[in-house]
A and B are shown apart, each in its own frame.
Chain A
Amino acid sequence: MKPGLFDRLNRVGAWMVLLFLVLPALIAIPVSLTPKRFLSMPEGEYSLRHFRHLFTSPDWLSSFAQSGIIAASTAILATTLGTLCAIGLWRVTSRNTEIVRAFLLLPLIIPQIISAMVFYRLLVPMGLIDSYPGLILAHTVLATPLVLITVSASLANFDPRLEQASRNLGASNWTTMRRVILPSVKPGVYAGALFAFILSWDEIVVTLFISKFNVYTLPRRMWNGIRENTDPTVAAAAVVLIAITLIAFAISAVIARRRAQGAASKD
């Protein structure tokens, strides 16, 4: 069937929409290169002074480090909890599993502003406001559902007879888990860990409520910079974040390709 005029117009429109989605963020690049001390477009002259400031200012560096620590801890905890949970739900064959699964996805689905209230309400009496454990706890609850989803997707392609075979050959529960199940859901686990890291690394709404000044994550510092709307260091930080996003995206694409290959080689 030859594509009609309408189809062709729609295709052009689709590419324009895609450019509309991606291009605006790139405005951060010229703004970050301005030689002026306030947010502006550079006019003929470029300077890297704002990147220099970003990578030498103790404030920004500590925010990078804090976000890194919190995101890495969240990724480790969420990946462990989420993987166990997904395998558990997969092994239990009862009609309750779908209800339990829906319940466990709630932290992901409920609007973040409500989650922010929830964690604020939780952490104030515990004395964990504005502390690493508080932020890691909150981010872990929010990120684990993502791991649950990705690992469950991997498990859907896993043949349960492999598990039975392993058990019949005399392997214990633990050995089966370690040597048979985990290796075959690896792509889902990696993807989940990456998503969990990104969620925590980017998280702003809940963080705004449960941190003050001891813990000042990167999104928090960007939020302040954007609100004040003067210091071009924010633009430099935005450029760095875009670069990190592209790297993370490339990693996830590699994982996805490996997963596709794994699925293809099994057939």
Chain B
Amino acid sequence: MTLVGVASTVSSALIRTRLSAWSLTAIAVGTVAVTVVLFAATPMQGRVAFLLFAAALYVTALTTVSALVEGRRRAKDRLVTSIVVACSGAAVLPLIAVLGFTIAKGTAVLSGSFLTHTMRGVAEQDANGGIYQAIIGTLEQVGLATLMAVPFGLLVAIYLVEYSSGRFGRFVSFFVDVMTGLPSIVAGLFIFALWILALGQSFSGFAGSMALTVLMLPTVVRSAEEMLKIVPDSLREGSYALGIQKWVTVVRIVLPSALAGIVTGVMLAIARVTGETAPLLVTVFGNPALNFNPFSGAQASLPLFVFSEAGLPNETAINRAWAAALVLILVVLVLNVVARVLARLVSVRS
């Protein structure tokens, strides 16, 4: 085919035969019909399998027909679009499945008594018992971690944005990134090695808070840093021009104008560590009874409770795990949604 040939054939026809909506529907109906027949006639079964098979068949049929009618380029385009849609489904389905499962299983057990009783003296096959001790533990551990990580992280962010200019600042910034990739179990092992083995302290809620602090820190630093960076320089300069010291400027002017964004980041960080299980396993250890004091002795926590009950070979225990998981998910999702709504409001205002 010569070049002129290519150009003239194409330019003489701006019109390309396209598959009509009608033929797309026909292909869809055909695929479902074939799948139904196949599932009735062969040993294939299951809702998920049906869905997957029908989808795959539809995409194959569509691509083939498109290749014949519309040409290879359009067929490829349709294939990729189908794949993109399928990927979106594949990513959303697990979330729906996990949420749906947790709600269905969790609400069966969840009750006022479940929230206000502990597991002290409750055997794994007993239906009573609850997560009061775990709720208290999680509140204390996450609360302490927030108290430590937020000022610490804010100061690091202030240093990175307002003070650092040289190599040291880049160095710190680099290690904030490295810290982001730190596996949570390693943070736990670190506190275990330092606090419990080297310093001879006991398991405690506080030990867990320290591990959670290590995990919260990079998230807080990064989000606060982003927020401080978008505070306009004119605000700082205006303050300096009035003869106000730098630190007063930072504390009284820069921080407040970045506050909403920082709060959002902190809430997301809290949401992240609230669900952490692994670091608590090696620092807090877990406890069926209530221990109010986070500074001494093993404590319970919601994620740990889910993990330990899930590991028991007993339906009652696993149901308790689901109920606790429901509470945990609610807490984490509410934190997330509120943080995001807040972020949305702030970004709309600015």
The yes or no verdict on A and B being binding partners is: no
